[in-house]
Amino acid sequence: MTETKQQESPKTHRAVRWHPPSYDVRVEDVPFPKVEHPDDAIVKIALAGLCGSDLHIYRGHDVITKVHTSGHEFVGEVVALGSNFLAVGGEQAASNGRPVLYSTLKVGDRVVSPFTVSCGECRPCRQGFSSRCARSLLFGSPALEGGQAQYVRVPYAGGTLFRLDDIKPDLATESRLTTLADSSLLLLADILPTGYFAALQLLQHPKLLPLLGGNPYPHTTLALSNPVGEAATSKDLLSIALIGLGPVGICAVVSLLDLLWKNGISYYRIIAIDPHEQRRNLIKAIYNKILDANPTLNQKSTFEAVDIETAKQRGFSADNAGFDGVIEAVGNTSAISLAFDLVRPFGVITSVGVHQDQPLPMPGRALYGKNVSLDFGRCPVRSVFPLVLDLLVRRQDVFGEVGTETSLVDRIVGFDEAKVYYDLFDKGKCGKVLFDPWK
C-alpha cells in the first residue's frame, strides 16, 4: 500500500469547500490527499468544472451536514499511484485480467475522470452500467473529496480514469485530438456524456421506433415472427421537447441533433425550453451556427427555443396532443410535471435531472392513462465515453471554444472567484464555468 513515484507532495493544497447548510462555499487549505488503497491514484488538477449537480448541494437540497470539497468534473495529470499499478511494481495488474490501466498508467500521464468512481470489474461495470458500479462513489460528496481542488484522490483508478494518450488511435482522430484543449476534454467528465446519454436513451426507446423506422409498434429485438405481416409506413414528424437549457440540456440538444442527422432523420420538430432568455439565446445561436455549416440538414425540420408557457401551447396544439419524446434536464418537480404534461400517450420521458426526495407529482392513474415510459438516472460515463469523444472531436465549434457567442464553456476563473461564480451560475446568469486551481 506504499505510495511511490510521487512527483510532489506539499503538505496542503487549495480546495473549494462546501459548508452546510446552504449557499456557503469557501476556498481553504486542506491536507494533501494520500494514496489510501493500492488501487488509488492522486491527480494534479488542471481544470475543474462547476456543474448543475453542485447546485443541489449548494442550495441545501441534499441535506448534507459534512463539510467537504466540492466538484466532480476534472482533468489533470497523475502524480502518484498505489502499489497495484505495474508502473510502481504491482505484479498482479498485468496478469490477472484487471482493467488495463493497472498495467499501463504512469505518473505524468494526462487523464480525465468520470464524475463517479467505477471499478470496471463488478457485474454492473461489466455490463456497461458503470454509473451503478457496486463500488461507486461520487466525487464532491461526503463519501469522496471533490475535484474543485489542486489535487484529488481517485479510488479504483485503473477502472475509473481515462488516459488521454490512450484514446487517440482507437478513434483515428490523432491529429485533431492533440489540438483539444483541457477546457474541451473536461466536458467528457460529465455533461457531454450525460447529454448524449439522454438523447441515446430517448431515440433508442422502442416506443419511438415507429417514427424512426417507419413501421408501427411492436418492434422487438427478440426472434419473433409476424404471421399477419402487416406493415404500414409511418412518416409522421418526430416531435421532441427538451426541458432545461443549462450545460447538460445544451449537450443533450447537440447530441440529439447529431444522432438524428447521422441516421438520416430530418423530419423532426424540436422545442427546447428554459425560463432564462440568455440560455434560450445560446441554444439558438448554437443551432444556427451548426446549420450554417450544413445547410442541407434542416429541410423538413423545425427547432424552437421557448419559455414554459409557449411550450405548453405548442404541446397541446400538436395533432396528437403532445410530444413523442421529452428529455428533462433540470431535476425539479415543476420540470418533471411539465414533461408529463407535454408527452403524448405512448410517449417516452427521459430524465437526467437529479431529483430530490419529493415523490413524483404524477399519480399512478395518470401514468396508466398515458401509457407513458419513464426513464431516470445517472449517466454511465465510463461506458459511453468512446461515442462521446467522437462527438466532442467533431463538434469543436461548440465544445472547443471558451467565451464566444456559441461556446458551451462560458469562462475559466480562479478559485478566488469561486464564490461569485457559484452565485451567478445558481441564478442562471452565466453558462458553464471552469476553475483553474493554479490561477
Angle formed by the axes of helices 247-262 and 191-203, nearest 10°: 50
Q: 111 with 75: CB under 8 angstroms? A: yes
Answer with the entry of Zn ion, ligand NAD, none that 276 interacts with (C-beta below 5 to 8 A by kind): ligand NAD
Q: Which does 331 bind (CB under 5 to 8 A by kind): ligand NAD, Zn ion, none?
A: ligand NAD
Identify the DSSP state of 286. Answer: H
The listed partner (ligand NAD, Zn ion, none) that binds 347, CB under 5 to 8 Å by sort, is none
Choices 74-82, 112-120, 269-277, 403-411 (CB under 5 A): range interacting with Zn ion: 112-120
Query: Between residues 30 and 64, which has the closer beta carbon with respect to ligand NAD?
Result: 64
Residue 216 interface partner, choices ligand NAD, Zn ion, none, CB cut-off 5-8 Å depending on type: none
**Cβ proximity to ligand NAD, 33 vs 52, nearer residue:** 52
Residue 382 interacts with which of Zn ion, ligand NAD, none, CB < 5 to 8 Å by class: none
Q: Where are the alpha helices (DSSP H) in 264-380?
A: 277-293, 308-317, 333-342, 364-370
* 246, 279 contact by CB (below 8 A): yes
Kindly state whether residue 131 participates in binding Zn ion, applying the rule CB under 5 A: no
Q: Are 386 and 360 in contact (CB under 8 A)?
A: no
CB burial of residue 11 (10 Å; 0-12, 13-18, 19+): exposed
Using rule CB under 5 A, residue 348 touches Zn ion: no
| Closest distance to ligand NAD from the beta carbon of 70 (Å) | 13
Helix (H) or strand (E) holding 326: strand 323-328
- Residues, the chain, total? 439
Beta bridge partners, 271, equal: 241, 304
The interface partner of residue 330, options being Zn ion, ligand NAD, none and the CB cut-off 5 to 8 Å by kind, is ligand NAD
- Applying CB under 5 A, the site for Zn ion has a residue count of 9
Identify how many contiguous H helices and E strands the chain contains and give both numbers: 18, 16
- Give the residue, chosen from 16, 46, 125, 338, that forms a contact with Zn ion under the rule CB under 5 A: 125
Distance CA 65, CA 20 (A): 6
Q: How far is the CB of 372 from Zn ion (least distance, A)?
A: 27
What would the DSSP string read from start to end of 357-400? SSPPSS-HHHHHHHT-EEEE----HHHHHHHHHHHHHHTHHHHS
Check residue 433 for interaction with Zn ion (CB under 5 A): no
Q: How far is the CB of 419 from Zn ion (least distance, A)?
A: 19
Q: Which stretch binds Zn ion (CB under 5 A): 56-64, 82-90, 123-131, 178-186?
A: 123-131
Among 16, 25, 53, 373, binds Zn ion (CB under 5 A): 53
| Residue 137 DSSP class | -
Residue closer to ligand NAD by CB (options 380, 400) is 380
Contact 257, 221 (CB under 8 A): no
| Residue 53 CB, nearest approach to ligand NAD (Å) | 3
119 is in the binding site of which of ligand NAD, Zn ion, none (Cβ under 5 to 8 A by kind)?
A: Zn ion
* Residues in 283-302 at the binding interface with Zn ion, rule: CB under 5 A: none
Strand, helix or coil for residue 27: strand
- The entry of ligand NAD, Zn ion, none near residue 71 (CB within 5 to 8 angstroms by kind) is none
Give residue for cell 431529483: 355
Residue 51 found at the interface with Zn ion (CB under 5 A): yes
Which of ligand NAD, Zn ion, none interacts with 332 (beta carbon under 5 to 8 A by kind)? ligand NAD
* Positions in 173-202 near Zn ion (CB under 5 A): 190
**Residue type for position 181:** A
Judged by the rule CB under 6 A, the positions of this chain that interact with ligand NAD are 51-53, 55-56, 190-191, 194, 243-249, 273-276, 279, 308, 329-332, 334-335, 338, 352-354, 377-379, 428
Q: Which does 194 bind (CB under 5 to 8 A by kind): ligand NAD, Zn ion, none?
A: ligand NAD
- Shortest separation between residue 404's beta carbon and ligand NAD, angstroms: 19
- Strand-pairing partners, residue 367, are none
| Pick from 306, 295, 244: nearest CA to 266 | 295
Order of strands across the sheet that contains 302-306: 302-306, 268-273, 238-243, 323-328, 343-351, 373-376
Instruction: Give least dist CB 304 to ligand NAD, A.
Output: 14
For residues 10 and 18, what is the distance between their CA atoms, to the nearest angstrom? 22
DSSP state of 403: S
Contacting residues toward Zn ion, per CB under 5 A: 51, 53, 73, 118-119, 122, 125, 133, 190
